Amino acid sequence: MRILKDQQSFVPARIFCIGKNYDEHIKELGGETPAEPVVFMKPVSSIVSPGETVVLPRHGRLLHHEVEVALLIGQEGQDIPESNALSFIAAVTLGLDLTLRDVQARLKKSGLPWELSKSFEQSAPLGEFKVYDPKTIDLKNLSFTCRVNGELRQQGNTKDMLFPITSLIHNLSQWWVLQPGDIIFTGTPAGVGPLVAGDRVEIESSQVGSFSWNLAQHS
């Protein structure tokens, strides 16, 4: 798999995901507001391109949609200052952080990592990337939605992030040397909810595009 940016292409490297980045989402799940970004990762093998079928995972009963703005890093960087962070973004899209909520609740209760609930096969449906141009994509004020079978479920805006995009890039680059092809899922707003076989989920932003997937029962 390669991600295209004009005539340049990127091989997806890592998927960094941010949890608890919208206050209303934290409230709906009964969590506590973090003092710093909550970071977890997904394998690049979990990416699902638009239009492909998402098969319900076998090891959980409650699959939730979480729409997020996703960033593609275009150049290497470490200890990136917030003032220069946006220059490291090559492209922008939307994605779904699919989550097995029942599995996550069990893991949280036991104090265990979230991987089984977040990093399973096909857990990262990802839209087509649009080249980042600050004249056409305002990352400080980017609205986006998630609809299931045409019903509005989630409506968010990057201006409501607890940790804005420049802060996320700065923070991640302190722990890792960011590489071209790295992808950052930036957190989900309130309204997460269940998905079942036969559902069609569509995520959309007027600044980025519209992408959809159908869900099917596993065999």
Domain ranges of the chain: 3-216
Query: What is the band of 7 on the pLDDT scale with cuts at 50, 70, 90?
Result: low
- CA nearest to 191, candidates 150, 152, 133, 165: 152
Confidence check: pLDDT of 4 > 60: no
- What's the CA gap between 45 and 217, in Å, rounded? 20
- CA nearest to 17, candidates 133, 132, 108, 95: 95
**Percent of the chain surpassing pLDDT 90:** 86
Confidence check: pLDDT of 2 > 60: no
Beta-carbon-side half-sphere exposure of residue 50 (alpha carbons within 13 Å): 14
Q: Structure tokens of 167?
A: 């802060």
Query: What is the band of 31 on the pLDDT scale with cuts at 50, 70, 90?
Result: confident
Written out in words, the top-level CATH class of the domain with range 3-216 is alpha beta
Query: What is the band of 9 on the pLDDT scale with cuts at 50, 70, 90?
Result: confident
Q: What single-letter DSSP state applies at residue 35? A: S
Instruction: Decide the pairing of beta strands 143-148 and 200-205.
Output: antiparallel
Query: Distance of CA 169 to CAs 35, 114, 165, 184, Å?
Result: 16, 22, 6, 9
- What's the CA gap between 154 and 190, in Å, rounded? 6
Mean of all residue pLDDT scores within the chain: 94
Predicted local distance difference test score (pLDDT) of residue 77: 97
Average pLDDT of the segment spanning 94-113: 93
Task: State the distance between the two ends of the chain, measured CA to CA, in whole angstroms.
Answer: 26
Beta-carbon-side half-sphere exposure of residue 24 (alpha carbons within 13 Å): 12
Task: Determine the 3-state secondary structure of 163 from DSSP.
Answer: coil
State residue 40 phi and psi, 5-degree precision. -140, 175
Say if CB 25 and CB 190 are below 8 A apart: yes
The full DSSP string for 61-85 is S-EEE-EEEEEEE-S-BSS--GGGG
